[in-house]
Structure 1
C-alpha cells in the first residue's frame, strides 16, 4: 500500500512501549501512524489533521481516553465520526459499557495480540485483510 493511500491512524497512550508496539503492528498492516501521549494532545491533533481511526487507551494523565472520546463525539462532523478502538487492562462488563457509552466502536482488553489489533483496526477502517 502506498503512503498516499495508507489510512492515517492516531494512537493515544501514555506508555511509550505500547505506542511503539501499536505503531509497528499498524504500519505493517499498511497504516500511517501518528502518536499522542494523552487526550489533550489527541484533541489538538484530530482538529488539525484527518484520521481514519483512533486507537485509545482509557487510563492516561491530563485527559483520559473516555473523557477525550465523549468530547470528540460532541464535535462537528467529520471529526465526531472517526472510529475509535478503545484499549484497556480493565476487563469488566462495566468498563466495556462505559466505553460504548462514551462512543467507542470497539473495546479490546490489553495485551493485544498483533493479529487481533491489525484485523480489528483494518475492519474499522473498512479494509479487511
Structure 2
C-alpha cells in the first residue's frame, strides 16, 4: 500500500525538493503552504506522515502541530517530521513539546530525509524490498 506524505512548507522550492525525493522513493505526496491549509486537507483526507516546516505565514508549524494533536484519533496520532533552519536546542524542545516525532535542521541530505520518512512510515522506503 502506497503511503501518503503531506508536505507543509511555504517555500515552493523546498516543497519541490521533498516532493521529488518522496515520489522517486515511491510515496504519494500532497502539499500545503501553511498549517491552516494542512488542517483543512487532513480533515478531508488522511496522511500517513507529515513533513512540517516551523516558520510559515497564517499558521506556523508548531501551532499546527498543537492543533493537530488536539484532534480525535487517529488524526491526532499522525507522525510528524519537523524541519527548520532553526538549530538551537530551545527550538528542538519546542517542536517536541508541540508534538513532533523528529526534528531535522535544513538543509537536509536526501538520504537522511528518506531514512526518517521510512522510519516514520513503518519500515523500509517504499521502493525497497522488505
Could you state the TM-score of these two structures normalised by the residue count of structure 2?
0.94
RMSD of equivalent CA atoms: 0.7
Q: Residue in 1 aligned with 2:97?
A: 101
CA shift for structure 1 position 67? 0.1
Q: Residue in 1 aligned with 2:3?
A: 7
Aligned residues: 125
CA shift for structure 1 position 30? 1.2
- Deviation beyond 2 Å, 4+ runs, structure 1: none
Matches within 5 A, 1:56-71: 56-71=52-67
CA shift for structure 1 position 128? 2.3
1:48 aligns with 2:41: no
Instruction: Choose which of 116, 121, 125 in structure 2 pairs with 1:125.
Output: 121
Could you state the TM-score of these two structures normalised by the residue count of structure 1?
0.95
CA shift for structure 1 position 76? 0.2
Q: Mind listing any 5+ residue stretches in structure 2 that lack a counterpart? A: 126-130
Instruction: Choose which of 26, 29, 32 in structure 1 pairs with 2:25.
Output: 29
Distance in 1 (alpha carbons) for counterparts of 2:118 and 2:20: 14
Q: Mind listing any 5+ residue stretches in structure 1 that lack a counterpart? A: none
